[in-house]
Amino acid sequence: MEDADDDGSALMGGLANHAAFLRALHAAPRVLTEGSVVERLRRHPAGLLDTHVANAGLLFVPEGREALAGIYRDYRDIGLRHGLPTLLLTPTWRANAERLARAGLAGRDVFGEAVRLLAGVRAEVGSRGEDVFIGGLVGCRGDAYRPEEALPREEAAAFHSPHVEALASAGVDFLVAQALPALSEAEGLALAMARTGAPFLLSFVLRPTGTLLDGTPLAEAVVRIDALPGARPAAYMVNCVHPAVFREGLTRQRAASPDLGARVVGLQANTSRLSPEELDGRAELDSESPDAFAREMARVHTELGTRVLGGCCGTDERHIAALARALKEEVPRE
């Protein structure tokens, strides 16, 4: 455990990197994000995941903490090898107060430990880690594939405020909410995140029609959230869908809203073409080869200009390495 001076250093470093993160987000031609973390841990022979908080509890288990660090090092090293700014996200997607209490982690410094873990992984490479950015990751309260479980806006803002504030205080470079199925909870998250002063991203699950799982068109969701007073995200992303689904959905939305591509800048994609309903509760991994995944992602970058690219369900270090190679070999867009 770090002492108080180390905690203060982590906070100062995180605040200093807000501007650097925003420069990379808006100016770098390509930004790499991590691939799946939870799925790789699910295949670990020791069965490390917790039913309630997934990988967050591993921060306090030596074997689990080292397994986490090893996965993050894989993704860090791929970005460094290819000279790409790289985003690593804290293992806190399921770490809200309700779930932490069920997992017996109430009162533990989960968010501080998560940031310290990633800060340590970044510090291992010294000045080469300047383009490695730490994101404070949160998710919706309910099932990400069930929009009917989404919280109303004001309730969501109150529910998510404690953990986004804890992540911001721990010194993350940015905040991100992933796999959001519904507009209402995304609006509440935007309000809660904006109050921290940290830059933040919102990432939705998208249908091929270009709607969120609750039926809201992506373009409408972006306009409505951007209009919230003082709560405009730095950008938007999509995750947990296949690149072909993203390409179809965003293309449909951009036909009516040509400026949408300037706000939806990233994709962390699945390797499966199955729908959320088909994937929900599925025991078997549905995956495609790293090279096939990389080709699909490179096509997204070339055709849509999507610049922040990485993996979600079905991906591992092989998929992210293939993606990084494809992005570096590609002729730059005009």
- Look at residue 80 and tell me if it is in a domain: yes
Residue 201 lies in a domain: yes
pLDDT digits (tens, 9 = 90+) for 37-61: 998 998 777 677 899 999 999 999 9
Give the structural domain span for 303. 4-329
The answer, yes or no, to whether residue 210 has pLDDT greater than 50, is yes
Q: Give, in degrees to the nearest 5, the angle at Cα 243 between 87 and 94.
A: 50
Average pLDDT over the chain reads: 91
Q: Give the per-residue pLDDT at 287.
A: 75
| Residue 190 belongs to some domain of the structure | yes
- pLDDT at residue 43, rounded to an integer: 78
- The pair of structure tokens assigned to 296 is 């699909």
Which pLDDT belongs to residue 44?
75
Total tally of structural domains belonging to the chain: 1
Q: How confident is the model at residue 11 (pLDDT cuts 50, 70, 90)?
A: very low
Residues comprising the chain, all counted: 334
Q: Looking at residue 40, which CATH number applies to its domain?
A: 3.20.20.330
Which pTM was predicted? 0.92
Q: What angle separates helix 4-27 from helix 153-170, to the nearest 10 degrees? A: 110
**172 within a domain of the structure (yes/no):** yes
Indicate whether 228 belongs to any domain: yes
pLDDT digits (tens, 9 = 90+) for 169-185: 999 999 999 999 999 99
Is 194 a domain residue?
yes
Tokens of 211: 């709607």
Residue 334 lies in a domain: no
